[in-house]
Amino acid sequence: MHLAPSALRRAVAAATIALLATAVGCAPQPEDDSAAKPAGSTTGAACAKGELATKTSGKLTIATDEPAYEPWFKDDKPANGKGFESAVAYAVAERLGYDKSAVVWQSVPFNKAFAPGEKTFDFDINQVSISAERKKAVDFSSGYYDVRQAVIALKGSKAAKATSIADLKGLKLGAQVGTTSLNYIEDVVKPTQEAAAYAKNDQAKSALKNGQVDAIVVDLPTAFYITAAEVTDAEIVGQFENQGGTPEQFGLVLDKGSALTSCVTGAVDALRKDGTLAKIEQQWLSDAVDAPVLK
């Protein structure tokens, strides 16, 4: 059968439209905004306030070590909202949509917080410094506090007279095991005597008071608290410069590959941007003024 030219043109046009419709129907369709966002996006459904995929539905489980030291916590009670890290934890929780009554605290030893293996908490806050090595086993939020390490010695001692890293090399130094403080002794000072490693800072403080070590290394805010309230016959000898040109930072610890990591990071970033972290630092860590730098 032969068609007139006009009829032929209409038939071709109809066939073309049909083919296009079929092609569109088979093509991948764009997803809605919430589905297209990466898991854990702070603006996507995965970060809906108060509806995160937490360990316990409707609750946010936060961990820290026991005892909980000042000035990071107050009266060894993380749940009271007092102390720098307790205040930060509740500020993050609020950003994520969890009020104080929805926060559950859990005791987890410092070293276990960033050890390999599945975690029982949503995030841990315990002066854990972010490092490439630790990131192999856990996730970190962005940093919530820039920190330096400091040396404490008893007043009038040889160690108290140190003004440089070289002056520390011949001393017996101590720090808590698994900490950046111990790393600074081993990697920066490189003392001639093996460093003493303690399970808890309390043990390191006792060793200093009893003369078992010449000096101990802790983070600077802790050093100010120890010398002001716990070992009052000790003083801060000095602080170390940051290594590698970047500040050492404390980060919140999460399970490796946690869906919450970017949500928590988004909360920390927002608290830094709007000045909340600075206000909390001013309230709880204002005594941690500059100490001499050991070079």
Summarize pLDDT for 86-103 with one digit per residue, the tens: 999 999 999 999 999 999
Q: How far apart are CA 154 and CA 100, in angstroms?
A: 41
Peptide bond into 71 cis (omega under 30): yes
Q: Each residue of 217-265: pLDDT tens digit?
A: 999 999 999 999 999 999 999 999 987 778 899 999 999 999 999 999 9
pLDDT at residue 74, rounded to an integer: 97
pTM of the entire structure?
0.81
Full strand arrangement of the beta sheet holding 293-294: 196-198, 173-176, 215-219, 149-154, 234-240, 293-294
Answer for the pair 141, 258: CB distance below 8 angstroms, yes or no. Answer: no
Residue 171 has pLDDT above 70, yes or no: yes
Residue 267 has pLDDT above 80, yes or no: yes
Answer for the pair 39, 88: CB distance below 8 angstroms, yes or no. Answer: no
Residue 23 has pLDDT above 80, yes or no: no
Give percent of the chain with pLDDT exceeding 90.
Answer: 80
Residue 84 has pLDDT above 70, yes or no: yes
Answer for the pair 186, 210: CB distance below 8 angstroms, yes or no. Answer: no
Residues contacting residue 200 through CB under 8 Å, at least 6 positions apart: 176
Interval 266-283 mean pLDDT: 97
Residue 17 has pLDDT above 50, yes or no: no
Domains of the chain: 45-146+249-287 (3.40.190.10), 149-240 (3.40.190.10)
Interval 21-35 mean pLDDT: 35
Q: Each residue of 40-81: pLDDT tens digit?
A: 334 455 799 999 999 999 999 999 999 999 999 999 999 999
